């Protein structure tokens, strides 16, 4: 498993090639996810500090550079592959400090009149407006498309890492649910903790809000987020009961690359209705897997799954789409939704996630991580065969 002192996962060369072909003199990323992608520095708390800005400035000719508050400089240096860092001291106005530092970096590398790309879909409007004013001699344009394209197709090293993290997460979930005994129930809170602990035991990192395990049973399983605002701790003292459908969720990471997992447990031999509901999930997976291959549009996958659901009378919650990409975030392009016409390509990694309602309106999902291959797709990360739900041992 990779740890400190990362290699660049093949990203540096890919970015350089894309940049050379783009016509940009440089690109700038301010979004936490884009910063991690371009720098390799996985800073799990970055999303949570909206008043402190880190940016990556990547010129077509020359080395990339990070702009960071002083406090995080050594962290970024240690965790990422970008070694050139300009830090700024705390100021009354951190946007002002970051923009000023970034402006200096740009002016040291790029001549006036150059086209500069900025991730407008992430950069706060105030930041972008000030940067435009500060760099009024440059042409500041969106480079969101370039970054999206880059991030959607993973390098072989990224694929390996994501395969590893999805497998370990599945293993972590299974490790935890193996502790469930149908006749000796435990609370959701305690089992949600077991999921996190078992993931940690398998070398996963549990960082940020995302590392939330969820154990939702009975009436709580009818909700996406039971008992808000108490997130990620299950339904507190509620014990699992015989014959309930239990949804187990976990998001976890290794070196900033994420898994997005959910599995179904049934507390006993499934009833005919429960069996039918789970078979529905399997059928939707099968339909999606059959159609996913390079060249197929993401929207086509959505349509195939939606039609399969309709044909079988499955209560699909279609507003969420039926899946998405995964990488330095748990939810990213491409999106398996009705309007995303992005053609699938070899090297994309998808989380297939059709969400259906069970017999008691339970929210049922069994997320599968898929790699799009040259000829089709391959499910990654199954610790067990998920043709059927997990059914715990009956008694000690």
Partner 1 sequence: MAELQDRIRVALGNYDAVIATGVDNFTYLSGIVLPFASNYPDRKAAVLKTSDGQEHIVCPHDWLSCVQEQGWKGGVTAYDENKGMPPNPAIEALTTVMSKLGLENKKIGLDKSKASKLFVDILERRLPNAKWIACDEVLRELRIIKTKKEVNLLETASRHSESGIVSALNHLEGTVDVPGYTISEFSERVRVHVFEFGGSGVGHLATMQGADAQSYYAPQHGKFRTGELVRIDVTNHHRGYWSNAGRMAVIGQPSKEQVAAYKDNLDLKDAAKEALSSGTPSKAVFEEVRKTAEKKRVKFWKETAVGHGVGVSDREPPYLNPHDETVLRPGMVVTLDIFTFGPRQELIHSKDTYEILEDRSRLLSWYRNWDQLYVVEGIRSTH
Q: Which of residues 137-196 bind partner 1 (CB under 8 A)?
A: 142, 144, 189, 193, 196
Please state, in angstroms and rounded to a whole number, the distance separating the CA atoms of residues 351 and 349. Answer: 7
Please state, in angstroms and rounded to a whole number, the distance separating the CA atoms of residues 319 and 248. Answer: 21
Compare residues 9 and 182 and give the one whose CB is closer to partner 1.
Answer: 9
* 215-254 binders of partner 1 (CB under 8 A): 223-225, 227-233
Binding partner 1 (rule: CB under 8 A), the pick from 84, 137, 178, 209 is 209
When asked if residue 104 is in the footprint of partner 1 (CB under 8 A), the reply is no
When asked if residue 293 is in the footprint of partner 1 (CB under 8 A), the reply is no
CA dihedral 226, 229, 231, 236 (to 10 degrees): -60
Write down the residue that tokens 């959505």 correspond to: 302
As measured in angstroms, the least distance from the Cβ of 314 to partner 1 is 17
When asked if residue 33 is in the footprint of partner 1 (CB under 8 A), the reply is yes
* Whether 30 contacts 53, CB under 8 Å: yes
* Whether 234 contacts 189, CB under 8 Å: yes
Compare residues 23 and 48 and give the one whose CB is closer to partner 1.
Answer: 48
Compare residues 25 and 119 and give the one whose CB is closer to partner 1.
Answer: 119
- How are strands ordered across the β-sheet holding 368-372? 332-335, 323-325, 349-352, 368-372, 377-380
Residue 118's DSSP bridge partners are: 28, 142
Q: Which range of residues in 59-67, 169-177, 278-286, 326-334 is near partner 1 by CB under 8 A? A: 326-334
* The token pair that represents 300 in the structure block: 């086509």
Q: In this structure, are strands 115-118 and 139-142 parallel, antiparallel, or unpaired?
A: parallel
Compare residues 283 and 317 and give the one whose CB is closer to partner 1.
Answer: 317
Binding partner 1 (rule: CB under 8 A), the pick from 13, 23, 61, 71 is 71
When asked if residue 6 is in the footprint of partner 1 (CB under 8 A), the reply is no
Build a one-symbol-per-residue string for 330-369: x at contacts with partner 1 by CB under 8 A, - elsewhere. xxxx-x-xxxx--------------x--------------
Please state, in angstroms and rounded to a whole number, the distance separating the CA atoms of residues 300 and 226. Answer: 32
Distances (CA, A) of 56 to 27, 129, 138, 366: 8, 17, 17, 36
Residue from 249, 205, 260, 215 nearest 45 by CA:
205
Cβ count near 55 (within 10 Å): 28
Compare residues 28 and 182 and give the one whose CB is closer to partner 1.
Answer: 28
Q: Which range of residues in 90-98, 155-163, 175-183, 276-284 is near partner 1 by CB under 8 A? A: 90-98
When asked if residue 284 is in the footprint of partner 1 (CB under 8 A), the reply is no
When asked if residue 268 is in the footprint of partner 1 (CB under 8 A), the reply is no
Mapped onto helix, strand or coil, the DSSP state of residue 51 is coil
Our measurement of the distance from residue 384's CA atom to the centroid of its chain's CA atoms, rounded to an integer in Å, reads 22
When asked if residue 206 is in the footprint of partner 1 (CB under 8 A), the reply is yes
When asked if residue 78 is in the footprint of partner 1 (CB under 8 A), the reply is yes
Compare residues 209 and 394 and give the one whose CB is closer to partner 1.
Answer: 209
Q: How many residues does the chain have?
A: 396
Binding partner 1 (rule: CB under 8 A), the pick from 205, 249, 300, 368 is 205
Compare residues 270 and 306 and give the one whose CB is closer to partner 1.
Answer: 306
* 377-396 binders of partner 1 (CB under 8 A): none
Compare residues 158 and 353 and give the one whose CB is closer to partner 1.
Answer: 353
């Amino acid at each position: 498993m990779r740890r400190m002192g990362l290699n660049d996962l093949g990203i540096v060369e890919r970015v350089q090639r894309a940049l050379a072909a783009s016509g940009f003199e440089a690109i700038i990323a301010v979004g936490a996810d884009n910063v991690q992608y371009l720098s390799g520095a996985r800073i799990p708390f970055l999303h949570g500090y909206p008043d402190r800005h880190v940016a990556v400035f990547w010129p077509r000719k020359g080395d990339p550079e990070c702009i960071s508050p002083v406090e995080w400089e050594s962290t970024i240096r240690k965790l990422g592959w970008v070694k050139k860092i300009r830090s700024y001291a705390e100021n009354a106005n951190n946007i002002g400090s970051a923009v000023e530092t970034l402006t200096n970096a740009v002016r040291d590398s790029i001549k006036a009149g150059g086209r500069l790309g900025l991730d407008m879909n992430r950069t706060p409007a105030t930041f972008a407006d000030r940067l435009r004013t500060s760099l009024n001699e440059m042409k500041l344009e969106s480079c969101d498309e370039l970054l999206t394209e880059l991030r959607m197709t993973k390098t072989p090293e990224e694929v390996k890492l994501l395969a590893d993290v999805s497998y370990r997460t599945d293993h972590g979930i299974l490790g935890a649910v193996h502790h469930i005994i149908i006749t000796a129930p435990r609370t959701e809170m305690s089992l949600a903790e077991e999921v996190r602990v078992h993931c940690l035991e398998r070398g996963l990192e549990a960082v940020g809000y995302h590392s939330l395990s969820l154990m939702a049973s009975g009436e709580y399983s009818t909700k996406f987020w039971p008992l808000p605002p108490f997130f990620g701790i299950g339904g507190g003292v509620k014990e699992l009961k015989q014959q309930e459908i239990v949804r187990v969720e976990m998001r976890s990471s290794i070196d900033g690359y994420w898994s997005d997992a959910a599995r179904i447990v049934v507390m006993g031999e499934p009833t005919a209705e429960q069996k039918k509901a789970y078979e529905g999930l399997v059928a939707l997976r099968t339909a999606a897997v059959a159609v996913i291959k390079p060249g197929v549009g993401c929207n086509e996958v959505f349509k195939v799954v939606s039609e399969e659901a309709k044909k079988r009378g499955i209560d699909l919650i279609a507003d969420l789409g039926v899946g998405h990409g995964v990488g330095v975030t748990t939810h990213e392009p491409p999106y398996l939704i009705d309007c995303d016409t992005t053609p699938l390509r070899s090297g994309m990694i998808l989380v297939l996630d059709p969400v259906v309602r069970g017999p008691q309106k339970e929210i049922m999902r069994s997320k599968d991580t898929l790699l799009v291959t040259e000829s089709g797709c391959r499910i990654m990360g199954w610790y067990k065969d998920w043709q059927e739900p997990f059914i715990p041992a009956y008694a000690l």
